[in-house]
């Protein structure tokens, strides 16, 4: 079977929401119904212009988190698309934000987020919600769906020019990249959220895809796409996600496997977290949240 891959996969974070302005918004409004702020609406229109320029009239299929703030962002984006440029739109629940609970107690959530920072964002589970691992698992399920959708001509009628855009949330964007490019938990812990309406662009590697088709073999999404340097810098991702044997030995046992400075030598949990989140080691250039 010939591989069908879009020209680009574009990941977009929603515009500034009223929850970004004040976490007190979550006390009386369900997370999924938090709207954009006035600034967020303006950001979303600017995002639409940016995407329109990037796509240059090429067709695009859109997936959106069902949350109000992501749908409001997408609505502004769609207004900037040219006639016939939008192939279709689908709500995708697996693209939603990490679940923190239902109506939220501000002091409790602030305390839990502080605890998450000390515990590690990937494994910490909110008492009435999800861990980062839970979000990663639903991202994994969605990636499998996405690969099948690439074969659907209603989603990707013309692979050479077609694009796919996902409008989602900051943490979900990072975990999608982690899943797609096989980044490690340590890599993830050193990343930061994209700014509101920030964009991560994955570009099809035509040299790899074309060669595979010529040889009659399949390629994975990981092989078929490359994340742009600007996108990696936006969230603090390293160039590659592969864990090399020597790097694993160094991380766990220290230099030359002698048990110095590696994770295995750290008895205090706080030392582990300091190692994982050290931005000098992994990338990121701003506070995680």
Say whether 168 sits in a helix, a strand or coil.
strand
Q: Is 15 annotated as a binding residue?
A: yes
Of the two residues 152 and 252, the one the predictor is more confident about is 152
Specify if 1 maps to a domain.
no
Residues 173 and 237 in one domain: yes
Specify if 3 maps to a domain.
no
Choose the catalytic residue: 58, 91, 97, 169.
97
Residues 157 and 278 in one domain: no
The answer to whether residue 208 scores a pLDDT higher than 80 is: yes
Per-residue pLDDT at 150? 95
The answer to whether residue 279 scores a pLDDT higher than 50 is: yes
Which residues contact residue 18 at a Cβ distance below 8 angstroms, ignoring those fewer than 6 apart? 25, 29, 34, 35, 36, 37
Q: Is 19 annotated as a binding residue?
A: yes
- Strands 8-13 and 199-204 come out as antiparallel
Q: Is 169 annotated as a binding residue?
A: no
The answer to whether residue 277 scores a pLDDT higher than 80 is: no
Backbone angles phi, psi at 278, to 5 degrees: -65, 110
- Which pLDDT tens digit goes with each residue over 160-181? 899 999 999 999 999 999 999 9
The answer to whether residue 232 scores a pLDDT higher than 50 is: yes
Q: Is 14 annotated as a binding residue?
A: yes
What total of structural domains would you count in the chain?
Answer: 2
Q: Is 53 annotated as a binding residue?
A: no
Residues 67 and 99 in one domain: yes
Specify if 289 maps to a domain.
no
Choose the catalytic residue: 14, 92, 169, 189.
14
**Residue 181's domain spans which residues?**
8-243
> Residue 200 is part of a domain; what is its CATH number?
3.40.50.1240
- The 10 Å CB-count burial string (b at 16+, else e) for 84-96 is ebbbebeebebbb
- Is 14 noted as a catalytic residue in this protein? yes
Q: Is 210 annotated as a binding residue?
A: no
Residues 26 and 94 in one domain: yes
Specify if 178 maps to a domain.
yes
Q: State how far the Cα of 226 lies from the Cα of 212, in Å rounded to an integer.
A: 16
Q: Is 163 annotated as a binding residue?
A: no
Q: State how far the Cα of 226 lies from the Cα of 213, in Å rounded to an integer.
A: 18
Q: Is 230 annotated as a binding residue?
A: no
Q: Is 140 annotated as a binding residue?
A: no
Question: Mean pLDDT, to the nearest integer, of 68-95?
Answer: 97
pLDDT band at 245 (very low <50, low <70, confident <90, very high): confident
Residues 202 and 259 in one domain: no
- Which pLDDT tens digit goes with each residue over 105-133? 888 888 988 888 878 889 999 988 999 99
Residue 44 near residue 227, CB atoms below 8 Å:
no
Residues 159 and 111 in one domain: yes
Residues 237 and 251 in one domain: no
- Is 169 noted as a catalytic residue in this protein? no
Specify if 2 maps to a domain.
no
Residues 84 and 210 in one domain: yes
Residues 55 and 112 in one domain: yes
- Which stretch of 82-96, 106-120, 190-204, 258-272 has the lowest confidence by average pLDDT? 258-272
Measured torsion, CA atoms of residues 281, 284, 286, 289, in degrees rounded to the nearest 10: -110
Which residues contact residue 47 at a Cβ distance below 8 angstroms, ignoring those fewer than 6 apart? 12, 15, 73, 76, 77, 197, 199
């Amino acid at each position: 079977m010939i591989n069908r891959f879009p020209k680009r996969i574009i990941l977009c974070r929603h515009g500034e929401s009223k929850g970004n302005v004040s976490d007190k918004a979550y006390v009386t409004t369900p997370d999924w119904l938090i709207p954009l702020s006035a600034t967020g609406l303006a950001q979303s229109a600017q995002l639409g212009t940016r995407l329109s320029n990037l796509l240059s009239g090429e067709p695009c299929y859109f997936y959106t988190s069902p949350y109000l703030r992501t749908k409001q962002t997408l609505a502004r984006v769609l207004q900037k698309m040219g006639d016939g440029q939008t192939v279709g739109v689908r709500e995708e629940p697996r693209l939603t934000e990490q679940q923190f609970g239902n109506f939220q107690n501000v002091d409790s959530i602030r305390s839990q987020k502080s605890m998450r920072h000390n515990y590690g964002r990937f494994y910490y589970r909110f008492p009435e919600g999800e861990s980062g691992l839970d979000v990663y698992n639903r991202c994994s399920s969605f990636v499998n769906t996405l690969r099948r959708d690439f074969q659907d001509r209603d989603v990707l009628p013309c692979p050479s020019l077609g694009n796919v855009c996902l409008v989602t949330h900051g943490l979900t964007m990072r975990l999608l990249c982690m899943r797609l490019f096989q980044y490690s938990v340590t890599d993830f812990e050193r990343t930061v959220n994209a700014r509101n309406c920030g964009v991560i662009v994955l570009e099809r590697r035509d040299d790899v895809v074309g060669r595979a088709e010529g040889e009659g073999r399949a390629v994975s999404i990981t092989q078929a796409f490359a994340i742009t340097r600007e996108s990696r810098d936006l969230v603090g991702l390293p160039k590659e996600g592969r864990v090399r044997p020597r790097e694993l030995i160094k991380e766990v046992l220290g230099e030359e496997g002698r048990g110095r400075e590696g994770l295995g030598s750290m008895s205090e949990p706080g030392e582990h977290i300091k190692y994982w989140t050290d931005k000098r080691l992994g990338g990121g250039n701003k506070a995680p949240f």
